[in-house]
Amino acid sequence: MNERQEMHRIYGARRLRRLLTFGALFLTSCVQLPLAPVAPLRALGAQHQLLIGASVDEAVFQRDAHYREVLAREFSILTPENALKFERVHPAPDRYDFRRPDALMDFAASHHMAVHGHTLVWDGQLPQWLTQGHFSRTQLTAILRDHIHTVVGHYRGRIPLWDVVSEAIDDDGKLRDSFWLRSIGPDYIALAFNWAYEADPHARLLYNDYGIAGDNRKADAVFRLLRDLRGQHVPVDGVGLQMHLSPNDAPTVRQVRRNMMRFESLGLEVDITEMDVRVRLPANGTELAQQARVYREMLDACLAAPNCKSFALWGFTDKYSWIPDNFPGWGNALIFGPDFQPKPAYHALVDRLRRR
C-alpha cells in the first residue's frame, strides 16, 4: 500500500482533501512577506504544521494600517471577530450583508492567510428581528437552516474551518438556556452541523466553547455531548478551546493534554480558538512573565497533541481587545502592546516555536 492509499485508509477521502487544503496553506505560510522580520509567528508555526491565528476587529481593520501590517506579517489564519455573527451578516429577514467579511476574505487571500468562520449558532449578537419576531418552531428551524446554508454556501471551498455551534453548554454542564434551545429544542445542535455539512462538505466543523480545557463539569459535559453527536454520525470534526484565561485560572498543561487526548479518542481535532490572558492593571513585569508562561504552556500542549491544528488569539494587540470593557480593572491580555511592540508573551511563543 503506497503512502496515498495509506492516507485514504486513515482519513477517508473527505479528510484527505482537507489535509491537502491545509498543506497548501502551510506552504504559502512559509513564504516570507516583504515586511516580515526574520521569523514571524506564521513561518515558525508552519514548521510545525500549525496555523497561527488572531481575531480581527473589522472596524479597526478598515482604519489602522499598522494593525493590518502586523496581522499579515505574523498570522496565517484570521477570524472575523464580529462580521460573521448573525446580527451583522443577516441584519434583516431577507437580507444578508457580506461586505465586511468579504473585505477580510480578500485581505486574507492576498496575504496567503486562511479564514476561520465565527460563528453560525450562538446565543450572542442575534438581531431583534429574530429574537422578537414571535416565530414558530417550524419557522425558526427554517430560518436557521437558511442562515447556515446561505452563509456557509457563500464561502463554500474558501473557508476551511467553521465554528458551527458556540457555547451551548453552561458552567453546570447543562445545555445552556439559549434562544436556540428554547426555540428549536436540543436538536438544534445536530441540525446545525448537518446543515453546515450540506453547505460545504469539505470544511472542518467545530463545536467552540470556553472553560473546557481544564478539569471541570463543563469540560466533561462537552465531552459527553460530542461523544453522543459522533455516535449519531453528526458531522462534527473538532472542538474549539477558546482559552480566555488569566494566570491564576489557567488550566495546567496536563489538564489540557488530557482533554485533547480524550477528544482525539472520539476522532476529533482540536483548535485553540480565542486565546487571551488578562492581567490586573497596571501590569508589572512579574505579571507579564506569568502571562508569557501561560501562553507558552498552552502552545506547548497544542504542539504535543497530534490533533491540535491551530493556535489562535482573540485579537493580537492590547490597543484593541474586548477585555477592558468586559473585565473592569483587567487588560493587557495580548502578545503585542498598544504600540504593536512584542511583549514577553510574544517572545515566549517564538522561543517555543523555534524548538522542534
Q: How far is the CB of 14 from ligand G3I (least distance, A)?
A: 27
Q: Which is nearer to ligand G3I, 20 or 59 (CB)?
A: 59
Q: How far is the CB of 176 from ligand G3I (least distance, A)?
A: 13
Is 167 a catalytic site residue? yes
CB-count exposure of residue 317 (10 Å: 0-12, 13-18, 19+): buried
* Catalytic position from the list 74, 81, 269, 274: 274
Q: Which is nearer to ligand G3I, 132 or 138 (CB)?
A: 132
Nearest residue to 73 (alpha-carbon basis) of 106, 101, 45? 45
Quickly list DSSP for 170-218.
Answer: -TTSSBP--HHHHHH-TTHHHHHHHHHHHH-TTSEEEEEESS-SSSSHH
Q: Nearest residue to ligand G3I, using CB? A: 322
Q: Which is nearer to ligand G3I, 237 or 274 (CB)?
A: 274
Q: How far is the CB of 237 from ligand G3I (least distance, A)?
A: 19
Q: How far is the CB of 156 from ligand G3I (least distance, A)?
A: 23
Q: How far is the CB of 100 from ligand G3I (least distance, A)?
A: 10
Are 79 and 273 contacting, i.e. CB atoms less than 8 angstroms apart?
yes
Q: Which is nearer to ligand G3I, 274 or 287 (CB)?
A: 274
**229 Cβ contact partners less than 8 Å away, ≥ 6 residues apart:** 189, 190, 193, 207, 236
CA distance 316 to 56: 8
Q: Which is nearer to ligand G3I, 57 or 287 (CB)?
A: 57
Is 58 a catalytic site residue? no
* Catalytic position from the list 167, 198, 264, 269: 167
Q: Which residues bind ligand G3I (CB under 6 A)?
A: 59, 81-82, 124-125, 166, 242, 274, 322
Q: How far is CA 149 from CA 119, 120, 214, 317, in A?
A: 13, 10, 34, 34
Q: Tell me which residues are annotated as active site.
A: 167, 274
